[in-house]
Amino acid sequence: MMDKRAIKRAILGQLAAYLRREIPIDDISEADLGRADEAQRELIEEFDRRAGDAKYSPDWKS
C-alpha cells in the first residue's frame, strides 16, 4: 500500500512527464507561448528538485 506522499510523488511525476510533451493551455497566443514554455520548465525543474530519485513514466500512461 502506498502512503499519501508516494501517491503525490507518482501523480506529480506523471504531470512532469506530460508537461515535457504538451502545452496544456487551449487557444494560447504566440505572445504567451514563450512564457508558457518557461513556466513549464520551472514546474519540471521544481518537480525534479523535490522528487530526488523518484521514478516516473515518461509516456504518461504507465
For position 27, what pLDDT does the model report? Answer: 80
| 61 phi, psi to nearest 5 deg | -105, -10
**pLDDT band for position 60 (50/70/90)?**
very low
The torsion angle over the Cα atoms of residues 18, 57, 2 and 54, rounded to 10 degrees, is: -100
What is the C-alpha separation between 54 and 5, in angstroms, rounded? 11
Condensed to tens digits (0 to 9), the pLDDT of residues 37-46 reads: 888 788 878 8
Cell numbers linked to 15: 504531470
In a domain, residue 42? The reply is: yes
For position 55, what pLDDT does the model report? Answer: 58
In a domain, residue 57? The reply is: no
Determine the structural domain holding residue 14 and report its residue range. 4-51
Q: Tell me which residue has cell 499519501.
A: 4
Regarding pTM above 0.85, the answer is no
In a domain, residue 14? The reply is: yes
In a domain, residue 29? The reply is: yes
In a domain, residue 27? The reply is: yes
Domain count, the chain: 1
pLDDT at residue 8 is higher than 50: yes
Residues 47 and 16: beta-carbon distance below 8 Å: yes
In a domain, residue 62? The reply is: no
